[in-house]
Amino acid sequence: MPTTAPAFSDATASDSALRRFLFGLPGVDAVGLEARAASLGTRSIKTTAKAYAIDLAISMIDLTTLEGADTPGKVRALAAKAVNPDPTDRTTPRTAAVCVYPDMASTAAAALAGSGVKVASVATAFPAGRAALDVKLADVRDAVAAGADEIDMVIDRGAFLSGRFLKVYEEIVAVKAECGPARLKVIFETGELSTYDNIRRASWIGMLAGADFIKTSTGKVATNATPANTLLMLEAVRDFRAATGVQIGVKPAGGIRTTKDAVKFLVLVNETAGEDWLDPHWFRFGASSLLNDLLMQRQKLSTGRYSGPDYVTVD
């Protein structure tokens, strides 16, 4: 099957070949990884640099609603906020995307038409991924037909954890083929993968299979994006580009709620993958509440006063 990385075609030729490749990757030094993530998290930025970081973070948000109680009205309101996050300040950047379930993709597409804000849709039986492949592919087709510019899929964690790596790889390849022009984000649910070595292996499976982004989490489990697991994935995309020339995006999702958190992740990007990833085309935040804190901090920098949560919309 074709991938974005012909240099590694032998690695995906069979289940045994893929297993040899994945277990041949360098082991992760957990202590070193966490220490580096913690060290980078202490970096402090002020004034002009902070204003730039806040605007950059806003432009990287996939503003998300993935609840059973979602309605067309809620999605339209979220789309309006994505296009114009702060009605009192038209210089505020718009967000990168609005992320919804497939049945809400057409509503989001209509509300965002002509705005430049992308429609992202979760698919492949999100968040558990427990469905037959033909059902997952139909889910993707429906989302793309409804206007999704981006598809966020979940891997089969059961297959991965039982060592059926080629099945995970082939499923991503099949989903990528159904995406057409839509970009594909592959969600690993890092909180369920147990080890950093598994996160590294999942990252390489996703990249070899043609993912446009690799993403930490669904936001539906206890452990979601952390500085350490995101740092590990940033190392993976950096190494993949060095080996293949192909650039892959990274999306941490879940648990990133404050401006301070967002700045820490931007420092990780800059210091690990490099400036090329400091762009919403290559780095995203899967978040909703984060936007409100960024807006409040932005208003404080502009006015010198902390406006408080009553001055931003509740999502």
Which positions are catalytic? 152, 215, 251
Handedness of CA 27, 189, 219, 212 (dihedral sign): positive
Name 251's bridge partners. 215
